[in-house]
Every structure is written in C-alpha cells, then in structure tokens.
Amino acid sequence: MFRQQFSNSGDACALAQAIVDTVREPMLVLDQELRVIAASRSFYLLFSVEPGDTLGKPLSELGDRAWDIPALRILLGHILSRHIAMDDFEVEHEFPVIGRRSTLLNARKVFYETGAHTTILLSFEDVTARRDLARRNEELLHEKDMLLEEFQHRVGNSLAIIASIISLKARSVDSVEARRHLDDARDRVISFATIQQSLHTSAASGFIELGPHFAKLCQAIAHSMIGDHQRVKIETHGGGRANCREAESLGLIVTELVINSLKHAFPDETIDGLITVAYEVSGTDWKLSVSDNGVGKSSASDQSKGGLGTGIIKALAKQLDAQIVGSTGPRGTTVSVTHATFGSNAGARSLTAAPVMANVA
C-alpha cells in the first residue's frame, strides 16, 4: 500500500523531507560522498544557517568547518563500508554566530532494496546546557572543598589555642579540684582536635576506614598523655568502614574510654600496662570494645555512672543506637559499645587484623 501510494519519486522525496523536518532534533541526510542532500528545519534554527549554505556542501565545510574532524570522517566511513552505527560522538566548537556549542552526533546508514546510492542519517543533540551545568557543578564542588579546607584549618587552629588557654589557666589556679576539671576539659579539646584532623585527612571518599582512624587517635592520645616513665602501650585491632558522622562518634567514644583507662587503670607506674581497642563487625552490626589490664574498679556499675566522660559516651552511644556494657575485675576493665543484635548473631565475624601498636612507653 505504501509503495503504491508513493510510487512517484517526487512524492516520496516530499514525504522524506517532511519526516526530516518533523524530527525535533537537528538532522542531516548525507550521500556516500558525505555531502548534504537534505537538512531539517531544526538544523537551520540551531546553527543559524541557510539552505544555500548547507545543501550540496560537504559536511566538513559546514559551520566554519566545525565538523572537519578526522575521527568523525573515519567513523562515517565505517558506517558506509562496514554498516555500523555511530552513537554519541561529542563535538564542542565555537561557531561564528551562535558561539560555543556541545553536540552529540548519532548516525545510521539507510539500506535500499534497489539502486547503488547510499544515504546516511546524521542527527545532532545539543547538550550545551547540560555540559555547562556539569562544569558549574564541578566549580561549585571545588569552591566548597576550598571553603571546607579553610574551615577545617581554622577549626584546628582555634582548638589548639583553646587547649593552650585552658592549660595556662590550670597552672594558675590553686584549687586541686578546679585544676583537675580544667585538665579534663583540655584533654577533651585535644581529643576533639585529633578526631577533627583525622577525619579531615581521611574523608575524601565519603567513608572512613576505622582501623587507621582508631590507630591515629590512639597514637595522638599516647603522645600527649603517656609519659616517658610510664610502661603503657595501646593497641588497636579490627577494621571496617563508616561514614564521617559515625566515625566521629566512634572516635570520640574510643578517646573517652582510652583516656579513662590511662587516668585510672595504672596507678602503679612500674607495671606493664596494655589498653586494647577492638572493632568487630557482623553484617550491619558492630561492636566496639576498649579493655585494659589495670587494677579494675569496685563494680561494673561504675562504668555507667558519673563523670563528664561517661555522659559523653552515653550520648554518643544513643546517637549510634548502641548499648554500653561494662565489666571489671582484678585483671582489668572492659567497656563494650554494641550496635543492634551483634552479641546474639550466630557466627558473628570479626574483622581482626594484626595489631597496630599506637605507642610503647
């Protein structure tokens, strides 16, 4: 029926041109010499050209020779000889009238039952706005990174200044209790500064590797709190990943528990002390434990009451939807922070690696 209705070649050409003009994307029809034999209305509108400057012209001469690209000629030649297609060939060019444009080219060969002539349909997708938006997003992300870098730098400097001021104040007061509280506050400022620096240097991917993160924290704590005369070392075991917010909370918990052990577990400085930080995972559940081989406490309940540090740990555990369990005895103290049902999971798996020694004194 279609052949009978358009047996006249002129009618068939008119139909073909109407189809080309109806397509919303700019389109060219090329012959086997890559000359333009038809162009869509949208092509003329997008590139601000006239039919007289387009029809019969080689593709390479159009648009201030914007399409005179060796790779494009090779691909179009492959379409003619190997009957393949071309998809999303990107061209960016500064046109004399319309300015810079980014376009994606797609081409297909038309197969005819009779005749030796060959035709290629070549369509153009204007992606200029999309590319401009992507560039702008990259610029904004770069600006954000620069501002975050500056902010982190200023926060680190400010925390160091605050810790110094607190230390000066602690040395000037006469009250032993007041000095103790000021020292506690200074230690927590230092620990937060350490966590902030560790997270800042490790968060490029959006996730923090907890093994190296805990090791850095323990190294910083050991450097600032373990004297040369003390025989205490800190080890970290295990691994896993967490987002920045979770890693920050876990780091604060580790800091508080390690500082607590250093302050209370080893009154006899002649005894070899060991503090162990372990992190185990099972699926989406995890368990963080900090243990020492110190003198222990009178009861495990001491781990769950009183003190600024204990209050901080409780608040952080609540944010992480975790429970705190403490045990103490003559061989030391262990505090575990457990997420969800880790303890009851059959076959809970530990990501335990070789111990990373944070300090030996």
Q: Which residues have a Cβ under 8 Å from the Cβ of 64 and sit 6 or more positions away?
A: 93, 95, 96
Beta-bridged to residue 31, according to DSSP, are: 119
What is the pLDDT, as a whole number, of residue 94?
87
pLDDT number for residue 16: 65
Listed as ranges, residues in the chain with pLDDT below 50 are: 1-6, 299-305, 345-361
Buried b (16+ CB within 10 A) or exposed e, 155-184: eeeebeebbeebbeebeeeeeeeeeeebeb
148 within 8 A of 158, measured Cβ to Cβ: no
Indicate the SS3 state at residue 193. helix
Q: Where are the beta strands (DSSP E) in the chain?
A: 27-31, 36-39, 86-95, 99-110, 119-126, 207-209, 232-238, 241-243, 273-282, 285-292, 322-329, 332-339, 356-360
| Dihedral in degrees, nearest 10, Cα atoms 249, 255, 256, 257 | 110
The pLDDT value recorded for residue 6 is 45
| pLDDT at residue 354, rounded to an integer | 35
Cα dist from 176 to 164, 170, 182, whole Å:
19, 9, 10
Q: Give CA–CA dist 67/90, Å, rounded.
A: 11
Residue 347 DSSP one-character state: T
The number of angstroms, rounded, from the C-alpha of 42 to the middle of its chain's C-alpha atoms is: 41
Query: How far is it, in rounded angstroms, from Cα 170 to Cα 283?
Result: 46
Alpha-carbon distances, residue 275 vs 100, 148, 271, 355 (angstroms):
64, 34, 13, 12
Give pairs for 128-136: CB < 8 Å, separation 24+: 128/100, 128/101, 128/102, 128/103, 130/102, 131/92, 131/102
Other C-beta atoms within 10 Å of 137: how many? 10
Which of 254, 144, 138, 280 shows the shortest CA–CA distance to 198? Answer: 254
Give the pLDDT confidence score for residue 242 in this predicted structure: 87
Portion of the chain with pLDDT greater than 90, in percent: 23
Residue with tokens 């006469």: 174
3-class SS of residue 282: strand
How big is the chain by its Cα radius of gyration, in Å? 36
SS3 content of the chain, % helix, strand, coil (to 5): 50, 25, 25
User: What predicted TM-score, i.e. pTM, was given to this entire model?
Assistant: 0.50
pLDDT at 310: 81
Predicted pLDDT of residue 55: 92
pLDDT of residue 5: 46
Write the single-letter amino acid at 183: D
